[in-house]
Structures are given as structure tokens and as C-alpha cells.
Structure 1
Amino acid sequence: MNVGIGSSASGFDDLSRSEVFALLGNERRRYLVQYMTSVDPPVELGELATRIAAREHGIAVARVSSCQRKRVYTTLQQLHLPKLDEAGIVDYDADRGLVDRTERTDDLAVYLEVVPDEEFPWREYYLALGAVFAGVTAALWVGVYPPTLLSTLGWATVLSVLLTASAAVQVLRQRRTRLSAAEFGPDPEEE
């Protein structure tokens, strides 16, 4: 099965599900994609390595040792960035040491969204909401009480408000669970 991630300079339009999971199968590549979607690119390779090292070790950016940074820097430079660049996920300029987002970066980041353990089952909720809408519609067609207490326009208003409010709550909850640049540690100047 292919997942549409847009076109790329590498000549293919879609990545297969297994290619997406292979690209995201490495923690450093996941951190890289997450970080790139949370900052304004381009990002220098050195800064990217420092941020990822801080995230891997659970420490502040200012506390990353040169050894930790170098280890991440080397694997990014030699392995991860060329692989993501080839897939069109990032635009890596090895000569200048700069990494930039592409249209595919955000598309791939969708696979990394955080889903908390207590996540509300939105699919099931919308399925149940659709069943309620269908039930109210059927009751209105037949003229059954109590749906006939409100006019058809009244029910349309109630159901529209319910759907819009549900979607708004879902959007707000999802925004709270998204990873942000803050999770990669504060800027060195802030410490």
C-alpha cells in the first residue's frame, strides 16, 4: 500500500507504508523529523546534532558533551541525512551543512504524532455521533416524538453546533499533544 506524501526530486510520488516505517524506524530520524517541523529552517547540522543529542540523553542543550554531539553529528552526516534527503523528506546541503524542510517533512511527521495512553477514541465518537444524527433524521422523517419538539431547522442547528464543538475539542486536544521545539531543550542562550 502506498501513502501519498507528495512528489519529490528523487522521482517517485509515493512512499510505501514499509518505506515510511523504515524511514521512521530509527529514533534519531524520528527526532530529526520532529525537530524540523517545530523550527524555522534551514537548520545547521551542528545545531541539529546538539538538539538531538540533548533529546536522546534527556539533558539541556548546554549540557551536551562534545562526545555526545559528535556521535550524533557523524551518524546524521553519514547515514540519516543522506537517507532522508534521498527520500525527499529533507533537503540536505552537505557542502554548507544545512538541513531544510520539504513538503514531505510535515507529511511524514503525521506518523509521529503523540497519542497518549488515555487518548479519547475519536473515530468511535464520530461514528456514534453519526448514528445519533441518522436517528434524529429518521425520527423527523417519521414524525416521532420527542424529536418533533424542535423544528427541522432547530435540529439542524443543534446537530451542527454539536459537530462543530466536537471537532473544536478534538483539534485543541491534538494541538496539546503535538511535540514542540521546547522538548528538544531550551536554546543555549536561555540557560
Structure 2
Amino acid sequence: MSEIKRRASHEPESEKPSRDVIFQVLGNQRRRYALHYLKHYENPAEIGPLATRIASWENDVPAADVTSQQRKRVYNTLQQAHLPKLNETGFVEYDAAHGLVELTDRAEDLDIYLELVPQNSLPWSEYYLVLGCVSLALTTVAWLDAGPLAAVPPFGWGLGLAALVAISGAAHRYYHRNVRLGHAEAPTDAE
């Protein structure tokens, strides 16, 4: 167990953060990048490599090509503003003396807000609404023994609709997993 975790485990768990606090924290791209890094890469992390990776994402260059000025600019704002803010809200434990930062259990409260919705993404709620309406219409037509749909037995309709819902759920799960912050190597808005 890391030194940061040992200290955090002795502190009482406070109430869940308000939506205003969450939106304020997530309203800054560097803080989102820091959270992404901590979720995907090292946890705990040293502030130096964290600053380098964030600078590479911001400047759209490989980490090896980040200049000292780009790294320093990110390092300073992380050290002076962003990591203290994340620490103050309880989403990370930031040890400024040792330059270490680590996610806390409270960071899990951010997961629902960190789901990224890329442009032209599939609106799943609308998809399931249409799926339900089509299923209802097909079931009604089959129940009325109308047209060529009457040739399919009721068990076939049930099996077909169940398979369609299962496949849709699996596709949704796969899609949802791939757009979460911390899943990919680079945050979606950095690609």
C-alpha cells in the first residue's frame, strides 16, 4: 500500500461531491487529462511524467518530442492549481513534497460524468426506443396473423427479439467501454 493510500485510509469518508463541484473539476481539460492518465497509466504517478504526457496530448506530439517549455508550463499549472484542486475535492491524494499523485476511491464518483460522447455518436436511448417500437409493431402484426409474418411461430418471434436485444446490449456495452476516460491510451479529445 502506498504512503498516500495509508494516509487517506485514516481520514473519514465525507459525503459525495455536489454536481457543481464535479462540473467545476471536470470543466478543465488538464484536470481531465490528469484523471485519464491516473486511470489508464500509473497510479500513483510522479508529477514529471504526468506533465510530460499531458503536454504531449495538448501539443499533439509524441512524449519524446515535448519541449522543456511545454512540459514546464503544464508542470507548473498542475503543481500550483490543478492537483491541489483535485486534492481539495478528494478525487486524488497529492503529496506535493514528494511530487506524487494518486486517485482516491472518491474518483469513482466521476465515472458517470467522464463518459465521453464523441461527435456523431449513436444516441443509445433513441436506439432502444426505436428497437422497442419496431419489436412491438412486429409482435402485434404476428399476433394478428397478418401477412407473411404469420408464417413465423410465436417461439421464433420471441427468440428473434430476445437475440436482437441481447446483441444490441452487447454492442452498447462494447461501445460504452471504449469511450470511457482512462480506457484508451490517449483521451478521446486529445486524438
Task: Compute the displacement of 1:115 (Å).
Answer: 2.5
Whether 1:25 and 2:27 are equivalent positions in the alignment is yes
Distance verdict in 2 for CA 1:138–1:181, change over 3 Å: closer
TM-score, with normalisation over the residues of structure 2?
0.76
Q: Residue 15 of structure 2 corresponds to which residue in structure 1?
A: 12
Whether 1:63 and 2:41 are equivalent positions in the alignment is no
Task: Compute the displacement of 1:152 (Å).
Answer: 2.9
2:122 to 110, 116, 120: 120
Name the stretch that deviates more: 128-137 or 173-182.
Answer: 173-182
Q: Residue 130 of structure 1 corresponds to which residue in structure 2?
A: 132
Task: Compute the displacement of 1:137 (Å).
Answer: 4.3
Task: Compute the displacement of 1:171 (Å).
Answer: 3.0
TM-score, with normalisation over the residues of structure 1?
0.76
Q: Residue 96 of structure 2 corresponds to which residue in structure 1?
A: 94
Q: Which amino acid aligns with 2:65?
A: R
1:48 to 45, 50, 71: 50
Whether 1:183 and 2:172 are equivalent positions in the alignment is no
Aligned partners of 1:20 and 1:108 also within 8 Å: yes
The runs of 5 or more residues in structure 1 that have no matched partner are 1-7, 185-191
Number of matched pairs:
175
Percent of aligned pairs with the same amino acid: 44
Q: Which amino acid aligns with 2:50?
A: L
Distance 2:130 2:105 in 1: 35
Distance verdict in 2 for CA 1:68–1:135, change over 3 Å: same
Distance verdict in 2 for CA 1:10–1:29, change over 3 Å: farther
Q: Residue 174 of structure 2 corresponds to which residue in structure 1?
A: 172
Name the stretch that deviates more: 89-98 or 157-166.
Answer: 89-98
Q: Which amino acid aligns with 1:168?
A: A
Q: Residue 145 of structure 2 corresponds to which residue in structure 1?
A: 144
Aligned partners of 2:178 and 2:184 also within 8 Å: no
The runs of 5 or more residues in structure 2 that have no matched partner are 1-10
